[in-house]
């Protein structure tokens, strides 16, 4: 996949991630009771409301203020980076949009509620309960990896073409 995304589109995707994340958390908070497990996709995914004061895998539990400041710092840093570039390669752009949206989504929870609302639980494996912002952050990692992969392949191809041209 090749192409670029403009700054405006990257920011719009990030806003979309935040809106979906916050809406899904609001719905989960209204419909779910803490401690109950409701199947969503039997055998794969269930709904279970948890208020997490930590980060991924419940690391830094109880450090909500520090994690809130970290969320703010990452959000500002990513936003500044996006604003300094008019266009960005597609995978990098998607990674930045997902990272910004996910970081803001969980940051809003930390600043507003003092915890992050998690509600998605994988059934077949013992995995921490998560939310849409967490999914977006993981998609950001995948997109960064794809960006590195495609850039590496492109660089290898360019180097091979240079080598071939020098041998002629």
Both ends of the chain: CA-CA distance in Å? 31
Which of 21, 109, 134, 147 does the annotation list as catalytic?
134
- How many of the other CB atoms lie within 10 Å of CB of 107? 22
Which of 38, 118, 126, 147 does the annotation list as catalytic?
118
Between CA 101 and CA 110 the distance in angstroms is: 14
Q: Which two three-digit tokens encode residue 50?
A: 């948890």
Q: Active-site residue 118, yes or no?
A: yes
Q: Active-site residue 158, yes or no?
A: no
Nearest residue to 71 (alpha-carbon basis) of 116, 31, 34: 116
Between CA 135 and CA 73 the distance in angstroms is: 20
CB-CB contact of 62 with 51 (8 Å): no
Query: Which of helix, strand or coil describes residue 43?
Result: coil
The catalytic residue positions are 118, 134
């Amino acid at each position: 996949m090749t192409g670029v995304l403009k700054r405006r589109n990257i920011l719009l995707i990030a806003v979309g991630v935040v809106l979906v994340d916050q809406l899904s958390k609001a719905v989960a908070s209204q419909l779910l009771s803490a401690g109950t497990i409701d199947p969503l996709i039997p055998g794969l995914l269930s709904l279970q409301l948890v208020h997490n004061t930590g980060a991924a895998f419940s690391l830094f539990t109880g450090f909500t203020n520090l994690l809130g400041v970290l969320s703010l710092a990452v959000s500002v840093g990513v936003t500044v980076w996006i604003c300094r570039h008019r266009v960005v390669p597609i995978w990098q752009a998607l990674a930045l949009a997902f990272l910004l949206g996910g970081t803001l989504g969980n940051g809003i929870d930390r600043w507003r509620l003092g915890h992050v609302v998690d509600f998605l639980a994988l059934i077949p494996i013992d995995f921490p309960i998560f939310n849409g912002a967490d999914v977006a952050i993981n998609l950001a990692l995948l997109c960064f990896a794809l960006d590195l992969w495609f850039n590496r392949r492109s660089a290898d191809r360019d180097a091979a073409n240079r080598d071939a041209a020098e041998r002629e």
